[in-house]
């Protein structure tokens, strides 16, 4: 598609429940990114993929967060046993190239709003 598509737009989970978010990158883009936007607008990088391979996972909380980008499927971000502090907007983004390209533009989806109650 022409835009990064994220689902669901809103998700409410009780503490301890699982949350799973999906992202379809722009067709032809090789790189996919997940960012978390918490209160006061701060963006935190979580993880990036080059096709189906993890490229950079330095921002990913190790314990409860996982992500995948499998061929012919939307990418996903899963949070096991959600906590209140996981409440945030999760943005997926994609770019046509990643490595070594100055000015490489990253295109963002509209985000998935996760509320943990």
Partner 1 sequence: GDSVTQMEGPVTLSEEAFLTINCTYTATGYPSLFWYVQYPGEGLQLLLKATKADDKGSNKGFEATYRKETTSFHLEKGSVQVSDSAVYFCALSDPNSGYSTLTFGKGTMLLVSP
How many Cβ atoms are within 10 Å of 36's Cβ, its own excluded?
21
> Could you give phi then psi for residue 94, rounded to 5 degrees?
-140, 160
Q: For partner 1, which is the closer residue by CB, 35 or 65? A: 35
Q: Residue 8: is the preceding peptide bond cis (ω within 30°)?
A: yes
Q: Which of 14-22, 38-46, 66-74, 75-83 is the region at the interface with partner 1 (rule: CB under 8 A)?
A: 38-46
Measured torsion, CA atoms of residues 62, 64, 69, 74, in degrees rounded to the nearest 10: -160
- Among 56, 77, 83, 115, interactor with partner 1 by CB under 8 A: 56
Q: Is 104 in the site for partner 1 (CB under 8 A)?
A: yes
Measured torsion, CA atoms of residues 3, 19, 81, 91, in degrees rounded to the nearest 10: 20
- Least distance between partner 1 and beta carbon 23 (Å): 11
- Least distance between partner 1 and beta carbon 55 (Å): 6
Binding site for partner 1 (CB under 8 A): 4, 31, 33, 35, 40-43, 45, 48, 55-56, 91, 93, 95, 98-111
């Amino acid at each position: 598609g022409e835009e990064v598509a994220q689902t669901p737009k809103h998700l409410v989970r009780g503490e301890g429940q699982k949350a799973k978010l999906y992202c379809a990158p722009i067709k032809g883009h090789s790189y996919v990114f997940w960012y978390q936007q918490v209160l006061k607008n701060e963006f935190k990088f979580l993880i990036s993929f080059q096709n189906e391979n993890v490229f950079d996972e330095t921002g990913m909380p190790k314990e409860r967060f996982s992500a995948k980008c499998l061929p012919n499927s939307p990418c996903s971000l899963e949070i096991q046993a959600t906590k209140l502090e996981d409440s945030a907007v999760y943005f997926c983004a994609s770019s046509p190239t990643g490595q070594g390209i100055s000015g490489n533009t990253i295109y963002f989806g509209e985000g998935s709003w996760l509320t943990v109650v």
